[in-house]
Amino acid sequence: MSPLRWSLRLRILLFFVALWAAASLAVAGALWLGLARGGGAGGFLLAGVASAFALMALSAAVWRLFDAHVAVPVERLAAGLRAGAHGGAAPDAAAAKYLGDLGAAAAEAADRLGAAEMAAAKRVAETTATLSAERERLTALLSELPVATVLIGPDRRIALYDGQAAALLARAGAPRLGAPVTDYLETAPLEAAYAAAAAGEARFEAVLAGSGARAPARLRRLDGDGSALLILDETATLAPEDARPLVYDFSLLERAPEPVLERRALRDLVCVVLDTETTGLDPQRDALVQIAAVRVLGARPVPGERFETLVNPGRRIPPVATRVHGIADADVRDAPTAAEAVARLGDFARDAVIVAHNAPFDLRFLTRAGGDWRHPVLDTVLLSAVLFGTGEAHSLDALCARLGVEIPEARRHTAMGDAEATAEAFCRMLPMLEAKGLATFGEVVAETRRHGRLLADLNAAPA
């Protein structure tokens, strides 16, 4: 019968018996060596030194066996259980083959948990199907109305906007859920309208930030909690093929985020998850050919808030790079320059935490193209190391496989495909980080700095 089929307790007993026997042989061998050299003080000294080295070698061998067959499998099993508990892949029972029934029991527990989650997810999906249909009907209705609607929270952040509002706000910058409304409308007319609407509704002329364009508007205070409904009466012309989003997060009406970033909860972070494709791997010699980004708020991607553009690198794209990302010279001939594309991305990523897989690579290219990219940063390579240990693979493919995130083959090595996969992996890691007691941005960054041998931390060190 294979020793792997013996009980764990019996194998541990036999291991310590073998350890005792090996230590006894080492000491006996050292004493024999001392006697063979003539005994006396010199012989005993030689025996002591030989015993010490023999026991050191035995200890190193025991540590190596313990690390390979106990410590590493336990870490992998714990990481697999943690990932499985949050929707990732089930733990690998084979990794714990030297731990008796622990691996099989963990896999069985994970399977049962997964089955229960699937049943619960099915019930939730059935319950929310009607709500989704109603939301789609409401979106279509609001998009057809000849007004732009924005819901503003008590702290003047945007909690909802429709397709008409998105088209108008885009004249002042990329529409961003959770952004201050004053990023898009000049402050003085808006605050005057707030004061005039104390008893209900106020009409005023909204002024778009930057351009100075004006639009007739109405502001209606809601429920006395400081929130307000802003209606811009100017019609935004939407083509039939244009996106008509209804973007909202009503939790923005209930709480203001912690003003100090280091103390801000992970779920309250506004993040932009980005990825780039390039002509090569050297930021000093190569150039961008594609940029994509996804905004994440409340630990989930914001529907409709995406940025994607090809980039004209101003040089030929090497065939070896085209074979990776599929972008050829003809595709980027009429694309914006790197400076233009990065400026637009900077507007989209304003005031956000940057999230990327191997962030130093992407940010070096973005910095070289222009703009200020001294954003706070979370790198999913380092987050993976925090959760799963430095001994595991931390490529995007390995991380997604571990978390159960699927990347369609046609989308792999496209900027948007990789940005979407990174965003999904990031959102799945957030509850896992919280389960480890890392609930704030500052706590996570402090932990990632312990893994600086993998990648440099791009956040400014605390004063």
Pinpoint the residues of the chain covered by CATH 3.30.450.20.
Answer: 145-248
Whole-number Cα distances in Å, 104 to 89, 95, 335: 15, 10, 54
Pinpoint the residues of the chain covered by CATH 3.30.420.10.
Answer: 258-451
Strand partners, 149: 231
For the cut 50, the answer to whether the pLDDT of residue 463 exceeds it is: no
| Per-residue pLDDT tens over the stretch 148-169 | 889 999 999 999 998 888 888 9
Note every long-range contact of 7-15, with CB atoms under 8 Å and residues 24 or more positions apart, other chains counting.
Answer: 7/100, 8/99, 8/100, 8/101, 8/102, 11/98, 11/100
pLDDT of residue 25: 81
Q: pLDDT: is 384 or 124 the higher one?
A: 384
| Per-residue pLDDT tens over the stretch 391-418 | 788 999 999 998 989 888 888 889 999 9
The share of the chain scoring above pLDDT 90, in percent, equals 46
pLDDT of residue 276: 97
pLDDT of residue 122: 62
| Per-residue pLDDT tens over the stretch 38-81 | 666 666 677 777 777 777 887 787 778 777 777 677 777 776 66
Q: pLDDT: is 230 or 34 the higher one?
A: 230
| Per-residue pLDDT tens over the stretch 175-201 | 999 999 999 999 999 999 999 888 678
The share of the chain scoring above pLDDT 70, in percent, equals 76
Classified by CATH at the fold level, domain 258-451 comes out as: Nucleotidyltransferase; domain 5 (3.30.420)
| Per-residue pLDDT tens over the stretch 308-331 | 999 999 999 999 999 999 999 999
CATH superfamily of 145-248: PAS domain (3.30.450.20)
